[in-house]
Structure 1
Amino acid sequence: MTETLLPATLAEIRDEFLELEEPERLQLLLEYSQELPPVPAQYDGHPEMCERVVECQSPVYIVIDVDSDDRVAMHATAPAEAPTTRGFASILVQGISGLSADEVLAIPDDFPQSIGLTRAVSPLRIAGMTGMLMRAKRQVRAKRAA
């Protein structure tokens, strides 16, 4: 992974995970699952306005806003009964929101593999987080082009 491309917010999150032993990393992921911010009112109860992340077994929906200053806000919903997936969504929402569109597009695609959870959670769950990241980047590109 190219160190210079990882925005500070995501680098801090990654380092927070890598400083811990594997069992504690899973606990930290569960803590993130409890910190997923609610979606703004205009999206709440309107999954048709969001994109389903089909790579996730649980129903996860994301939507990206890009403001006039090219700043990104990521929003996600994930069920409380899927704490791993919800934790990954929370990491991305917290790590991406506030970044510029260019910073989001420069996030390495392998970021989900870099936070030290590949042995603690199933490859399917890592694929789900990768799917969230890929869809977020695609939405940033689409919103910019619009």
Structure 2
Amino acid sequence: MTETALPASLAEIAEDFRSASNDLKLQLLLEFSDELPGLPERYAGKLDQLERVDECQSPLFLTVEVGDGDSLDERVVNLFFDAPAEAPTTRGFAGILHEGLDGLSAAEVLDVPDDAPMRFGLAEAVSPLRMRGMVAMLARIKRQVRARTAT
């Protein structure tokens, strides 16, 4: 059985993590945490418009916007996250998903395998509970994309 390939943007990040030592993985995670963009003005202070990911150990909220197009291949997905600065692991996971998925087509996002977070080799560096949070973020993103593209 062959595993479904990750989109190139996410595959590149996964390779960086897999080739790193556990200490370096945590450093990379911190870099993604620092690079997570803030919410745009239209969502600032409006967390009620975002979905909370309860599986995360820290409060994390996300929402997805899907652009117009005739097919899922033409509809561009944009991701927005809100996580506290004092939650670097959670922010790091959100940063990875933002960097790897933002700007892809709806079809590409929906094709991301559900086990993608397990392909980063992070399970050796962070707790299984934390990994569940990243898996849940991806599931929420895909569910929101499906909901926003349903006809």
- Normalising by the smaller structure, the TM-score range is over 0.9
Whether 1:109 and 2:120 are equivalent positions in the alignment is: no
The CA deviation at 1:3 is: 4.7
**TM-score normalised according to structure 2 size:** 0.92
Tell me which stretches of 4 or more aligned residues in structure 1 moved more than 6 Å. none
The SS at the match of 2:35 is coil
**Deviations, residues 45-90 of structure 1 (Å, cap 9, x unaligned):** 1001100001112110000000013100011011111100100001
Deviations 1:89-119 (A, max 9, x none): 0110111111110110110111111101101
Identical pairs, percent: 53
Secondary structure in 1 matching 2:90: helix
Partner letter of residue 133 of structure 1?
L
Query: Any conservation in 1 of the 2:4–2:113 contact (CA below 8 Å)?
Result: no
Match of 1:2 in 2: 3
TM-score (norm 1): 0.95
Among 98, 119, 133, the alignment partner of 1:93 is 98
In the TM superposition, 1:41-80 aligns within 5 A as 41-69=41-69, 70-80=75-85
Q: CA deviation at 1:44?
A: 1.1
Which residue of the other structure, out of 132, 136, 139, is the alignment partner of 1:134?
139
For residue 37 of structure 1, report the CA deviation from its aligned partner. 0.7
Partners in 2 of 1:111 and 1:55 — Cα distance? 17
Please, which runs of 5 or more residues in structure 1 have no aligned partner?
A: none
Q: In 2 relative to 1, CA 122–95 (structure 1 residues): closer, same or farther, beyond 3 Å?
A: same
Counterpart selection for 1:124 from 109, 129, 134: 129
Cα distance in 1 for partners of 2:57, 2:29 equals 18
1:2 CA displacement: 2.3
Aligned length: 145
Q: Unaligned 5+ residue runs, structure 2?
A: 70-74
Supply the RMSD in Å over aligned alpha carbons. 1.1
